[in-house]
Amino acid sequence: MIEQTFVAIKPDGVERALIGKVIERFEQRGLKIVAMKMVWVDRDFSKKHYSAHINKPFYKGLEDFIVSGPVVAMVIEGVNAVEYTRKIVGVTIPSEASPGTIRGDFAHQTMQHADEHGHAVVNIIHASGNKEEAKKEIDLWFDAKEIHSYKTVHEKHTF
């Protein structure tokens, strides 16, 4: 089933100049980027995007982190895009992410370290956790006119 999902390269990924390497991971799997922009989010927007985490003890550190620099926001489209994108990204905590995933290849932090220092787990990228979250996040971050429809060569052979 063709789906769309939301991804954001976080300030650590942008500041470490990993934008190209991260995008390559999705493109090489044949997933299609249908929307993309660089955004410096503010605290109000952070509260909307991370509404599920607002009452968690780590929220303050998470908000400080996400507003600390620009992020690259994308909509990614493809067969089962929500699940495959999460697979490519790896699990939330970098120390537990498998090598070969974005978090497993480019980050190493533990939850314990983040919590002891009162900051967010720094993990390069955010990706929607499920289809419902993907729809909510795409609607929050993008206007319909910013999402494009075009054909890739992969579609000619696989879709």
**The one catalytic residue among 126, 148, 154, 157:** 126
- C-alpha distances in angstroms, 159 versus 4, 112, 133? 15, 43, 25
| Strands 71-79 and 125-127, bridge-based pairing | unpaired
Instruction: Tell me the closest approach of the beta carbon of residue 145 to ligand CMP, in angstroms.
Output: 26
CB 108 within 8 A of CB 99: no
Query: Cβ closer to ligand CMP: 25 or 126?
Result: 126
Query: Cβ closer to ligand CMP: 3 or 63?
Result: 63
Query: Cβ closer to ligand CMP: 11 or 78?
Result: 11
Query: Cβ closer to ligand CMP: 36 or 107?
Result: 107
DSSP secondary structure, 88-133, as one string: HH--SSGGGSPBTBHHHHH----HHHHHHHTS----SEEE-SSHHH
| Residue ranges in contact with ligand CMP by CB under 6 A | 53, 58, 62, 92, 111, 114-115, 120-121, 123, 126
Instruction: Tell me the closest approach of the beta carbon of residue 153 to ligand CMP, in angstroms.
Output: 31
Instruction: Tell me the closest approach of the beta carbon of residue 56 to ligand CMP, in angstroms.
Output: 7
Alpha helices in 1-159 (DSSP H): 11-15, 19-28, 43-49, 59-66, 81-89, 102-106, 111-117, 131-141, 153-158
**Is residue 154 flagged as an active site residue?**
no
CB 54 within 8 A of CB 48: no
Q: Which residues are catalytic?
A: 126
